[in-house]
Amino acid sequence: MAHTQYELIDRLPTVLEHKTLWEAVGWGDLNIGMSEQSLAGSLYGVVIEHAGEVVGMGRIVGDGAMYFYLQDVAVLTEHQKHGLGKLIVERLLDYIKKRRHENGLAFVGLFASHGNDTFYEQFGFKDHSPGMTGMFKVFE
């Protein structure tokens, strides 16, 4: 691990930890009920603790065989630049490699926050346009 004062733990964040990190990194306000339901549908998750406090998180959603999506990879600003995001993504990708269907491909997707494209490129993620484009729709 980047520093011994950090501990990477295989578990989903609690609803409160999820909300706290979500809002701290500037993703907006998060409804507790929605967070609870969303976390319950996760395939896997990790948190990073420092001095008993969760300072980072990441999780996987998808069908568990062919499609996997990295979600909510976040590290509190004051704990960034210590390699924690990298540890989170590596652990999530290791989970997918071990759990994907043995006889097929695994499609791993994500939506990077603005300016974080190069962070994910180090793990082999790339822009596949114009042949493929990432699209999404938000219902408000």
Query: For 72-127, what is each residue's pLDDT tens digit?
Result: 999 999 999 999 999 999 999 999 999 888 888 899 988 877 777 777 888 888 87
Instruction: Please tell me whether residue 96 adopts helix, strand or coil conformation.
Output: helix
What CATH number is given for 6-121 in this structure? 3.40.630.30
* Environment class of 2 (CB within 10 Å of its CB; exposed 0-12, middle 13-18, buried 19+): middle
What is the chain's alpha carbon radius of gyration, rounded to the nearest angstrom?
15
Interatomic CA distance for residues 70 and 106, integer angstroms: 13
Sign of the alpha-carbon torsion through 80, 77, 41, 63? negative
Q: Look-up: residue for tokens 């691990």?
A: 1
Q: What contacts 111, CB < 8 A, 6 or more positions away?
A: 134, 136
- pLDDT for 124: 80
Separation of alpha carbons 50 and 6, rounded Å: 5
Asked whether 123 and 93 are in contact (CB, 8 A), the reply is yes
Query: Bridge-partner residues for 62, per DSSP?
Result: 68
- Name the more confident of 126 and 128: 126
The number of C-alpha atoms within 13 Å of 5 and in the hemisphere containing its C-beta is 6
Note the pLDDT of residue 76.
Answer: 96
